[in-house]
Structure 1
C-alpha cells in the first residue's frame, strides 16, 4: 500500500478511525505522533535508516508540517468536527482523566467547566485551524497567535484544500469513510466506535459555556463551515459512490455488532465484503 499520514486532530472520531486504519494497514509499520513535536522528531531520527524506510503509516497528533519529510511529503488525510461539539467532547475527556498531560492541572475529582474554559488551555481554542497551520502543545506561545483571524482561516483552508489529499467530516462519518476508501483503494472500512464517554459522569453545559466555546473557536467555526460546504459538494457530485455507501450502511448493521463480539470474545469473523 502507498504511504499515508492521518493527521489526527483530538476528539474528531480519531480513535475509531485509527482502528480502521490499523485494519486497512494490517502488518504495516506505523509511527504514531505523540503531540510533542520535538520529541517525535527525535524519536523518528533515532530509528535506523532501514527502520525509517519501513514506516508506511503515520498517525497521531502533530501539525500538518511535522518537520519529518517522510511524513510531510506523502498523502495526508484528516477528519474535521463541528467545533463546539469537539470542544465539548474534549472537556468531557479531560474531566474523566483521559488526558494524562492535564490530569495534574485538572484532576477529575475537582474538574469544573468554568475553570477549564477560562484556563487559557490552547487545546480548546481554534485547535483544528491551528493544527492545519502550525501547532505545538508545549510551545509557550503558538506561532499562529501572530496571525489575524482572517489569516488563520485562510491559511488553514489553503492547507486543507491543497496539501491534504482527502478530508472527512465527523458528522458524515460513513460518507467520509467511503470517500477515503475510493480515493485510497481500501476494502470496506467496517468499524465499531471507540473511546466512548462515561455516561455516568456527563458534564452539563450551560448557555454561557457554549457561548465561551464559540468565542474561543470563531476561526474553527469559519473553517469548518467552508470545509463542510466543500465536502458536501463532493459527496453530492456524480463522482461520489452512493451505491457503495448504501451497501456499506446495510452491511454495517450486521458487521459492526460482529466486530464488537470479535473484540470481546476473540471469535473469528468472515469478511463478507471488500
Structure 2
C-alpha cells in the first residue's frame, strides 16, 4: 500500500468487521480507532494515522489531507438483521428487547435505526439510495468484501494492499441465534421488504466480487484456493 494513502475501514456492525479489524491491526502500526466525536476536531490524529477503523459512516476522507481509500464488508440482509437482533437485544450483557424478533422488525426503533443500515453507512450523511451507494462503492472503495465470501474478500485485500502473512482469529461470532432455515417465512419477508435497498446493494457488490473471482488467472486461482484452505482450517 502507498505509505501516503490512508486506509479507511468502514466497519458496519455484524458483518465480520471485528475479525477484519484484527487482521488490519497486524499489518499497520498507526491505527486510529474511531469511537465517537467530531472527526473535524481530530484532524491531527487522522493525518498521522495509517488507518481509520470503527463504526463510522462514509465521509471520513473529507477530514484528512492525504489520499484515502476505503474498504468494507457487506452481509446478506436476512443474516445481518438476525445476527444484530440476537447480539444486541438477546445478549445477557446488554439491555434486552421486551418482545419477539418479529415485534422488533415492526417496531419504530427498527424502522428508524436499523432498516437498510448497510446502505446508510455507505451513503453517509445522505439518505439511503441504491444509485448513490453504487456510485460511492465504485468510486471510493478499493475492495468491497462479502461476509459470506470472507476468505475471498480477505484474499483480495491482501493482494491489493500487499499485506504480509495474514493470521485470522474469528471474533465476536454470535452463535446464540436461529439459522435462516429456522426463521418463519413471514419474518424473512419482513426483513427483505424493510431492507430492500440493502439487498440491492449487497447483490451488486457480491456479483462484482464473483466476477472478479471468475476473472482470475490460473496461478492466482491456485493461490486463492490455498488461502481458502488455510482459512477453513481456523
TM range (shorter): 0.7 to 0.9
CA distance in structure 2 between the partners assigned to 1:40 and 1:76 by the alignment: 19
CA shift, 1:195, in A, is: 0.6
Residue in 2 that maps onto 1:88: 82
> If the length of structure 1 is used for normalisation, what is the TM-score?
0.73
CA distance in structure 1 between the partners assigned to 2:92 and 2:145 by the alignment: 25
Secondary structure (helix, strand or coil) at the match of 1:167 reads strand
CA shift, 1:239, in A, is: 4.9
Residue in 2 that maps onto 1:30: 31
CA shift, 1:243, in A, is: 1.9
Secondary structure (helix, strand or coil) at the match of 2:123 reads coil
CA distance in structure 2 between the partners assigned to 1:197 and 1:165 by the alignment: 28
Structure 2: unaligned runs, 5 residues or longer: none
Residue in 2 that maps onto 1:174: 151
CA shift, 1:111, in A, is: 4.5
Secondary structure (helix, strand or coil) at the match of 2:167 reads coil
Q: Is the 8 A contact 1:41 1:67 kept in 2?
A: no
Secondary structure (helix, strand or coil) at the match of 2:60 reads coil
Q: Does 1:144 align with 2:123?
A: no
Q: Is the 8 A contact 2:31 2:50 kept in 1?
A: yes
104, 107, 110: which one pairs with 1:116? 104
CA distance in structure 2 between the partners assigned to 1:72 and 1:127 by the alignment: 28
Q: Is the 8 A contact 2:61 2:68 kept in 1?
A: no
128, 132, 136: which one pairs with 2:118? 128
Question: Larger Cα Rg: Structure 1 or Structure 2?
Answer: 1
Q: Does 1:165 align with 2:142?
A: yes
> If the length of structure 2 is used for normalisation, what is the TM-score?
0.84
Q: Is the 8 A contact 2:158 2:164 kept in 1?
A: yes
186, 208, 227: which one pairs with 1:248? 227
Q: Which runs of 4+ in 1 moved over 4 A?
A: 201-204
Structure 1 residues 130 and 167: CA distance shift in structure 2, 3 A:
same
Q: Does 1:11 align with 2:21?
A: no
CA distance in structure 2 between the partners assigned to 1:209 and 1:133 by the alignment: 26
Specify which structure has the bigger relative contact order, considering alpha-carbon pairs within 8 angstroms and separated by 6 or more residues.
2
CA distance in structure 2 between the partners assigned to 1:44 and 1:78 by the alignment: 22
Give the aligned length. Answer: 226
